[in-house]
Chain A
């Protein structure tokens, strides 16, 4: 049986379907009743077994009656940087801590490197590094004592340690108690990557890093990506996700509301056209979603830029901007559009 996640083109609901290779599956969106179909190919069977390093199926975590996350289904492919977006309290940390076995899922399941997290979590951690969001280190140890301790617990070769210490220099001989927030964060990064794990899961890893260090960190992540390492990255800083992530998942109130290629997501939402004309803005016969703000005409268009440019040519244009949606716009779209 193969699984595939699709987004309903109408209401953006995420639908998970199952089928055999080559099978054509008819789908009805449970939310808005839009109908469609999907054909499984044999090629996807190959892709599935080789490329997904993290997979969740309806992963759900309730704290008693309080919802943490509900029915999260997504996958992270080998060698990609996956951005996990959502505002504070949306369930990012709950997702990460459930994936890593700190919290027991209420229902659903998850696999990391094809191993079930409920049964093989210790084994999984040999290949997975982790930077907690609320990073707390052993204050009574010095930086090097801490790294030695963790290296002894990993019991493998710390192949990246020297390199990491060059990029993220920390005062190794000083007690961690005396570290600044940025130094602690650097040490958190070092311990997660020092044995060059196949996957690193990070919960808002750039908080506390200055812009210069953030850039060094992004460069480092890109180098890791080139080596085929996978990174799962939660953030609420959209610009950084835009800069480094290949795919994103957006979580809202514990539910996944989008799961997409960053570029595809932007493409799908179309372009924002802003134009200033000499004539009265009200005279312009634009589409329904048109807004007028400070004399600027603003509207969103999908794939008919040509049509609108030709329309605009009938007016005297003072200024014109055609922009892609930024991730921020997308984010706001998902948060405002679906409440």
Chain B
């Protein structure tokens, strides 16, 4: 069994994706610097506009009433949309195609001609995506720290660090969901699109729950409901329920993926 822990498939995943990793990391670093850098120019304008009518028109975002503060601005402009949604879509897209691309491209036959178990393939594909996420995650954190220091805005770096630590279980849940879809759906485009639909769907549900109090319960079906970046960034409040939920989703998705993949036929058409 010592072969299982050599993670050769995972290492190959990292090799395959190193270019993408660098591009996504740079993209998010530039985005962080760009958005945060815009804040001083917009600050006064936002404060002027900051009446209840204005921020109610934004109330599908969590903590829209705080967008005139630096932390609120970061939360709204950068983290809620680009981090929790767009990055999740990007990483999820890659996860959702990780195994389906081998089945669709028929390379799975050769891969499985080696002494590797199907469970091992699922786990290693998942593990192989983690370094990619970690590079983006801490690259972005450094960029936010850098621009904040340059702008001389007030931001608790300890809390910022917490955001990026708690991002880990959030994105592991996204990646594992992608893996699950990847073992079920054989066509990589289809599996990636299904994952994107789920992520966007969850985002919409959360927005709906914020605008209409009657539909508050809808938010509980959304990942981002359990990851309150403003509370974390401003107050350092950690949502332990949220973290446990992300960990649980990750474990459940991986276990179901392994069981499903173990028992399915690998058909080539």
Contacts and interface: CB of A to CB of B under 8 A. Distances in A.
Contact of A122 (B107, B117, B263, B267): B117
Interface size class on chain B is 20 to 34
Interface in A258-283: none
Nearest to B105: A136
B117 A104 contact: no
A100 B112 CA distance: 9
A137 B3 CA distance: 23
A43 to B, nearest CB: 35
A174 B115 CA distance: 27
Contact of A125 (B8, B115, B263, B267): B115
Interface string A166-202: 0000000000000000000000100110000000000
A191 B105 CA distance: 18
Interface stretch (A32-40, A126-134, A241-249, A326-334): A126-134
Interface residues of A, number: 30
Given A136-B106, A140-B16, A130 B113 contact: yes
A129 B112 CA distance: 11
Interface centre among B6, B8, B9, by most A CB within 10 Å? B8
Contacts of A123: 115
Dominant secondary structure of chain B at its interface with chain A: loop
B110 A132 contact: yes
Nearest to A191: B110
B109 interface: yes
B135 interface: no
Contact of B113 (A63, A103, A104, A125): A125
Interface stretch (A11-19, A20-28, A148-156): A148-156
A150 B115 contact: no
Interface string B234-269: 000000000000000000000000000001011110
Nearest to A104: B265
A192 B114 CA distance: 9
A208 interface: no
Contacts of A135: 110
Interface of B: 3, 6, 8-9, 12, 16, 105-107, 109-117, 263, 265-268
21 contacts: A63-B265, A97-B109, A100-B112, A100-B113, A102-B109, A102-B112, A102-B265, A103-B266, A103-B267, A104-B265, A125-B114, A130-B110, A130-B113, A132-B113, A134-B268, A136-B107, A136-B110, A152-B6, A153-B8, A153-B116, A154-B114
Interface of A: 63, 97, 100-104, 122-123, 125-126, 128-130, 132, 134-138, 140, 149-150, 152-155, 188, 191-192
